[in-house]
Each structure stands twice: as C-alpha cells, then as structure tokens.
Amino acid sequence: MLTLALQAGGQSSRMGEDKALKLFLGRPLIQRAIERLAPIADEILITTNRPCEYEFLNTRLVPDLITGRGPLGGLYTAIASATRPLVAVAACDLPFASPLFFESAHRLMVETEADVVIAKTTAGYEPFHALYRRAACLPLIQAALAEDVWRVSAWLSNAKLRIFSPAEMRAIDPSGLCFWNVNTPAEFLEAEQIASGRSTPDRAHGKPPFG
C-alpha cells in the first residue's frame, strides 16, 4: 500500500560532503532514515543521481526522471517511480524523521480521501516529510513542470490537502524535531548529541515549530 521514497539528490554544499553518507552515530545518515521509517513501508526507494555511492544499501535507486528541475524534479521522480498508491516522501537529511507522523498521515488520508497529508510550520509547507496519493499528485506535478514552475509547493493549491494542525503535530512530535534537516557540520554534531541523549533540543535551530 505504501512506498517510502527517500530523497538523496541535494548538493550538500554547506556540509562540504554528501550528508546522506556522512556517518551519524557510526552509520550513514541515510541508513538511520531507512531504519526509522522502513516499518511503515511495503517498498523503499532512494532518489539519487549518484547510484554507485548508495549500492551498499541494497535498496532500489532511481535517478532523476527529468534533470535540472531541482527539488520539484526530485519529488516528481519519487512519486512517479513508486509502485504503491501512497508515497511517503522524506529527505535523507532528517535525523528525526517520524514514523508516527506517517502512520497518522496514512490514517488521515484514508479517512479524508486527501491527495496530500502534510504539515505546515511557520516556515511554510513541509513537502519532504509528507504523504502523497500517487494517482492524484502525479498529473498535478507533471502540469507544474510543463509550465516551468520550480517551487516545490506551487502545485499544492490544486490538490486536496489535509494539513496537520499545530495541536496534532505537538502530539506526534513534541520535541519539534522531525522537520529539522541538518545542513552544516555544527547542526550535524548537535543532532548527534540530541540523538545520543547528550543534549536536549531547545528549538533554537532548524525550522520554526508550530504556532
């Protein structure tokens, strides 16, 4: 019923190395994401244009189907390549990606027949930690690409959304960390310290939490 699509197509320019493969508590960060989210999925795939570097994961690897279109092209690749009707999309650089989020999103998608179940922080929508209905979303993304739209969330206004309320998100993710993507060595180290229990989150980093 559900494909997990992990996005590993970023440039990692601020990290200075591929953050998906950077060791997080002794193993590649992307492997941590797989281990956290695999229980929710019937199928797992990774979108990457450097498949040879990810072969050790023994997971299906998919290069961009449309090149040069940035994150929206990556989202299109993830949803188009999935073989299940529902697609959980997550960025590879989210150390605290939440299986509970996707379990709750799956339930809400079934109950409401939504096309997308997504959260919205004070920074905007979180499209790279969201659940998509493949049949409904694929043509909408294709239309956006055909119109030369680049913004990842531009097509969402044409989809039936179920947006998590702030109260719902606080119940799912009381730490406020599930959308925190680590972009720099300092953020990476801080995330490791939190994950190992050597530090506690103060919400002074990453994207703003919910209202």
- pLDDT, tens digit, 9 for 90 and up, residues 73-127: 999 999 999 999 999 999 999 999 999 999 999 999 999 999 999 999 888 999 9
Per-residue pLDDT tens for 151-180?
A: 899 999 999 999 999 899 999 999 999 999
Domains and CATH numbers, the chain: 2-195 (3.90.550.10)
pTM: 0.93
- What average pLDDT score do residues 122-148 get? 95
pLDDT digits (tens, 9 = 90+) for 13-42: 667 688 999 999 999 999 999 999 999 999
Q: In the block, which residue shows the tokens 């997971």? A: 59
Paired tokens of 46: 């990774």
pLDDT at residue 12 tops 80 = no
